[in-house]
Amino acid sequence: MDLQLQDKVALITGGSKGIGLAVAEALAKEGVHLLLCARDAQQLKKAEQHLEQYNVKLFSFVADVTQAEEVDKLVAFSLQKFDTIDILINNAGAGTNEKIADAPDEKWYYYWDLHVMAAIRLSRALIPSMKENGGGIIINNSSICARQPIGYEPIYNTTKAALSMFSKCLAHEVIKDNIRVNAINPGLILTEAWEQAAKEESQKQGIQPEEFLNKIAQENTPIGRFATTQELANFFVFMCSPLSSYCVGGSYYVDGGWLKVST
């Protein structure tokens, strides 16, 4: 199937590992040129080395997208390297662990900037060039937790819910300019963060990491397993493609059936 993505340009935040890197690789396989952003220069270098096997233009930029000034620098760098960004994937994010009664304002503000304001600032900055070039794609990596919260991470739940609503509002505002905005809500995806959590928790419980992960999957998902980052990336790529042209303002769950209500 031709996804009609050859020579498009994608900017991916949080693009040096996990979901972001998997999406970058899946897009590179389709001939999409890449600009990856992350905070860790060494990890970005590893990502670049991994992606050099694909015949696409590839740049990286070190930035903390919770900082408005660094977002501005990222945008300037992006538009210097490419005339426009055709695809913006707001992927940077991290889980949280707190009680509402104990979490200080500073923690709320940090994750608000990471999960919500980074997407707002990047979208706002890149939409004008998308308009000039006939349209574009914005995908916000939200979470199943935007609708089905997990008890130990209320900040994550709240900020991801806000990100999903932002996606809906922006989609309605810019579709007239042929800019399609959607949110993707992953469930259990086997990232480095989950692997680290499995290592730590399995030691406490006296079991193997694989047993811990299998227990989580069996308890929560009808499919009974975690998804690979590649499985999720395949869906991202489809949503970047003109073949998904009637998908506008949606929140799409890739969760193995974990969501317990109808969408």
**Domains in the chain: ranges and CATH:** 9-189+229-253 (3.40.50.720), 190-226 (no CATH)
Q: Which two tokens stand for residue 211?
A: 């047993």
Q: What are phi and psi of 80, to 5 degrees?
A: -80, -40
Model's pTM, two decimal places? Answer: 0.96
CA distance 215 to 192: 18
Residue 126 CB burial class (10 angstroms; 0-12, 13-18, ≥19): buried
- The DSSP secondary-structure symbol of 223 reads T
Q: Is 110 a catalytic residue?
A: no
Question: What digits encode the pLDDT tens for the residues 196-234?
Answer: 989 998 998 999 999 999 999 999 999 999 999 999 999
Where residue 1 falls among pLDDT bands split at 50, 70, 90?
A: confident
Question: What digits encode the pLDDT tens for the residues 46-76?
Answer: 999 999 999 999 999 999 999 999 999 999 9
Residue in 67, 61, 62, 63 with CA at minimum distance from that of residue 79: 61
Q: Which of 156, 246, 252, 253 is catalytic?
A: 156
